Amino acid sequence: MFGQKVNGVRVFPVTIKITLIFTVIILVSNFASNYINLVLNRAQLNDLLRQLMVKDLRDLNTFANTQNEIYSFSKDLNASLKGIEDKADFELKNRKSAVLIGVKSDRQVLFQSRTARARLTEFTDAASFVKMQAGEREGYMKISLADTSLLSVYKYNQKWDAYLILAVEEQVFYEEQTKIFRWITFFIILITLGSAAVGIYVFRDILRFIGVITRSIMKMIQNQQLEVIDLGKAPNDDITYLGMAFNSLSSTVDNLITIFRKFTNRDVVQKAYRDRMVKLEGVQKELTILFSDIKSFTLITETLGMDIIKLLNLHYDKAIRKIQDHDGIVVAIIGDALLAIYGVPDDDHDDHVPLKSLQALQSAFKVQEVARELRIEMKRKKDELLERNGTLSPEDLRIYRAVLLEVGVGIDGGDVFYGTIGSNVRMTNTVIGDRVNSASRLEGLTRIYRVPVVCSEFVKRDLENNTENRDFFFVELDTVQVKGKTTGMRIYFPVPRVNLSDRLLTETERYSEGLELYYRGEWAAAYEKFKGLRFKAARVFRERTRKGQTPAEWNGIWEMKTK
């Protein structure tokens, strides 16, 4: 009823706010109206009271004159004063709290009706009495006796040389009116609260879609995901129009975010959504880098022309999904090449990601699987054409050979710069470092050693030291100094153990023995080990060691002359 807290701030429902405001307005207006009515009625009652008291005082004044004449004959003062008091008691018996007082010029009380609460000997309100004497012989004023406020009319009686004062207690006079005011106030509050309850129900029904919109937006904020608000059965009013406008804006922004995600890395999108901006910044991270390239791409382009785009998209659509399935981030698409990184945490901390090399290896073979499935699909289509046409034209065969994509993958890792570079008008998210170039060079070695994937010793150590996964068997291929480098590096062919047959295990063991001889400079003996091996990488070493002559100053590192 009183809303919910969002980020420590309570969000009150607009229905409650409207109802409370209207309730306060109604109460204030009703109280003000009732009070104004009370004041006006009091003024009217005061006027009526004055007229009534003036009439009563005139009658009592006439009676007092009569009693004065009687006193003149009887000389019995007490009897005459008692007669005045009895007359006053009789006339005022139905007048609640009314009293008649006769006051001499020295403020001594001459007589007083017995309706008074206390018998007075002296008129104690000297200030009011002075005003009576200084003013007209008769009038109307408020007096105070025994700490009680009274409304009074007075008249000077010449025969008795005294002021006749007829007074009534102000509080008693207004008592009934005050009771009525209290009862009216009670009913105003009761009716207003009842109306407020009805108002809440009515407003909630009328404004119910404000709550729907608010709850939906709060859910979107919590999930950090824009959605379309369900406005089914919404009335035709401006609130519904507001919701429709939000849905339109939400769809537009969501579409822009979707496009943004397609052109930008996942972690950049998350930071942009959280920080409401993209900063030119970067950090040094230990990442694993995967570089994938399509072999014989120049020939494919010459054969397919602009249709190469369709083939690339067909391959990339599945390959990129496989990379992302293993938490890889595609940093760049460079024509026929993909550059992906592994090990970027979901948050902005420099936490070590132990599975990064395992994820890169798994992705590498998934990319190979995608290329293999595409080749199988192309072969199926070729077989369908052969079955339908009986033969293929030279052009068809040329196109068929072009679409049989083969992919090489190189994987390396280490400390690199990862972040956003450029300017505030054009920026890009990238990874920079020697390990990136190294991954590209390793991919190039897949063509020389005729294996689908080549990785560095960093990948092998990272997998063995940080995970218990033993799904890959690493075959050391060589120690090479790639073009542009001054030091050698050991390179490996990671073989999925599910593909490790007894024949391949035997072959790789013999290959490893030959490689040890090769490193030691015993090329003739190494050649004998490599000779006869069906393991494709052995072909390279047969060619190197065929003559059995070890190069001068041999250090076991082969220097590559090409990329």
Q: What is the pLDDT of residue 420?
A: 78
Which is more confidently placed, 477 or 227? 477
> Residue 373 maps to which CATH number?
3.30.70.1230
User: Quick one: 410 and 519 in the same domain?
Assistant: no
Q: Which of 24-38, 108-122, 355-369, 484-498 has the highest mean pLDDT?
A: 355-369
- Residue-averaged pLDDT of the chain: 83
User: Does 248 map to a domain?
Assistant: no
Q: Which residue, among 303, 297, 319, has the nearest Cα to 371 in the 3D structure? A: 319
Q: What is the pLDDT of residue 458?
A: 95
The proportion of the chain whose per-residue pLDDT surpasses 90, expressed as a percent, equals 29
Q: Are strands 4-6 and 109-112 parallel, antiparallel or unpaired?
A: unpaired
User: Does 260 map to a domain?
Assistant: no
User: Quick one: 38 and 96 in the same domain?
Assistant: yes
Q: Residue 470: pLDDT band by 50, 70, 90 thresholds?
A: confident
Q: Residue 14: pLDDT band by 50, 70, 90 thresholds?
A: low
Q: Residue 260: pLDDT band by 50, 70, 90 thresholds?
A: low
Q: What is the pLDDT of residue 263?
A: 62
Whether 326 has a pLDDT exceeding 60, the answer reads yes
Using an 8 Å Cβ cutoff, are 324 and 276 in contact? no
Q: Which of 217-231, 424-438, 461-475 has the highest mean pLDDT?
A: 461-475
User: Does 483 map to a domain?
Assistant: yes
Q: Which residue, among 383, 387, 327, 315, has the nearest Cα to 356 in the 3D structure? A: 327
User: Does 186 map to a domain?
Assistant: no
Q: Residue 408: pLDDT band by 50, 70, 90 thresholds?
A: very high
The proportion of the chain whose per-residue pLDDT surpasses 70, expressed as a percent, equals 88
Q: What is the pLDDT of residue 281?
A: 67
Instruction: Encode pLDDT of 282-309 as tens digits.
Output: 788 899 999 999 988 888 888 888 888 8
Q: Which residues pair with 454 in a beta bridge?
A: 410
User: Quick one: 24 and 163 in the same domain?
Assistant: yes
**CB-CB neighbours of 428 under 10 Å:** 12
Q: Residue 353: pLDDT band by 50, 70, 90 thresholds?
A: confident
Q: Residue 133: pLDDT band by 50, 70, 90 thresholds?
A: confident
User: Does 347 map to a domain?
Assistant: yes
User: Quick one: 18 and 139 in the same domain?
Assistant: yes
Query: In which element (H, E) is residue 230 found?
Result: none
Q: Residue 249: pLDDT band by 50, 70, 90 thresholds?
A: confident
Which is more confidently placed, 334 or 221? 334
Q: What is the pLDDT of residue 340?
A: 94
Using an 8 Å Cβ cutoff, are 420 and 268 in contact? yes
Q: What is the pLDDT of residue 2?
A: 53
Using an 8 Å Cβ cutoff, are 359 and 342 in contact? yes
Whether 186 has a pLDDT exceeding 70, the answer reads yes
DSSP-assigned states of every residue in 64-132 = HHHHHHHHHHH--HHHHHHHHHHHHHHHHTTSTTEEEEEEETTSBEEEE-TTSSS--SB---HHHHHHH
Q: Which of 233-247, 285-299, 304-318 has the lowest mean pLDDT?
A: 233-247
Query: End-to-end CA distance of the chain, in Å?
Result: 70
Q: What is the pLDDT of residue 138?
A: 87
Distance CA 412, CA 455 (A): 6
Distance CA 331, CA 431 (A): 7
Using an 8 Å Cβ cutoff, are 82 and 67 in contact? no
Query: In which element (H, E) is residue 455 found?
Result: strand 453-456
Give me the long-range contacts of 38-41 (CB less than 8 A, separation at least 24).
38/177, 38/181, 41/177
Q: Can you tell me the mean pLDDT for 230-257?
A: 76
Q: What is the pLDDT of residue 302?
A: 82
What the block records as the tokens of 65 is 């004159």
Q: How far is CA 172 from CA 36, 48, 440, in A?
A: 20, 16, 105
Q: Can you tell me the mean pLDDT for 330-355?
A: 79
Number of domains in the chain: 3
User: Quick one: 490 and 427 in the same domain?
Assistant: no
Q: What is the pLDDT of residue 266?
A: 64
Domain that holds residue 100: 14-178
User: Does 199 map to a domain?
Assistant: no
Q: Which of 70-74, 92-96, 262-266, 453-457 has the lowest mean pLDDT?
A: 262-266
Distance CA 476, CA 373 (A): 28
What the block records as the tokens of 533 is 């091996």
Distance CA 247, CA 77 (A): 100
Q: How far is CA 272 from CA 160, 261, 267, 287, in A?
A: 102, 11, 9, 22
Whether 358 has a pLDDT exceeding 90, the answer reads yes
Using an 8 Å Cβ cutoff, are 327 and 342 in contact? yes
What the block records as the tokens of 229 is 């608000």
Give me the long-range contacts of 530-539 (CB less than 8 A, separation at least 24).
533/507, 534/503, 534/507, 535/504, 535/507, 535/508, 535/511, 536/449, 536/450, 536/451, 537/449, 537/450, 537/451, 537/475, 537/477, 537/478, 537/493, 537/511, 538/507, 538/511, 538/514, 539/450
Whether 413 has a pLDDT exceeding 90, the answer reads yes
User: Quick one: 302 and 364 in the same domain?
Assistant: yes
Whether 1 has a pLDDT exceeding 60, the answer reads no
| 368, 370, 373, 377: CA torsion to nearest 10 | -130
User: Quick one: 419 and 476 in the same domain?
Assistant: no
Whether 544 has a pLDDT exceeding 80, the answer reads yes
User: Quick one: 174 and 25 in the same domain?
Assistant: yes
Q: Which residues pair with 528 in a beta bridge?
A: none
What single-letter DSSP state applies at residue 234? -
Q: What is the pLDDT of residue 457?
A: 95
> Residue 148 maps to which CATH number?
3.30.450.20
Q: Which of 66-75, 278-287, 355-364, 548-557 has the highest mean pLDDT?
A: 355-364
529 contacts: CB under 8 Å, gap ≥ 6:
510, 511, 513, 514, 517
User: Quick one: 372 and 428 in the same domain?
Assistant: yes
Q: Residue 526: pLDDT band by 50, 70, 90 thresholds?
A: very high
Whether 450 has a pLDDT exceeding 70, the answer reads yes
Whether 178 has a pLDDT exceeding 80, the answer reads no
User: Quick one: 83 and 163 in the same domain?
Assistant: yes
Instruction: Encode pLDDT of 376-397 as tens digits.
Output: 988 988 888 888 888 878 888 8
Whether 348 has a pLDDT exceeding 60, the answer reads no
Query: Mutual orientation of helices 170-206 and 14-74 as an angle, nearest 10°?
Result: 170
User: Does 125 map to a domain?
Assistant: yes
Q: Which of 121-125, 237-241, 386-390 has the lowest mean pLDDT?
A: 237-241
Q: How far is CA 248 from CA 251, 273, 413, in A?
A: 5, 19, 45
User: Does 385 map to a domain?
Assistant: yes
User: Quick one: 417 and 477 in the same domain?
Assistant: no
What the block records as the tokens of 18 is 């409207």
Whether 505 has a pLDDT exceeding 60, the answer reads yes
Whether 563 has a pLDDT exceeding 70, the answer reads no
Whether 311 has a pLDDT exceeding 90, the answer reads no
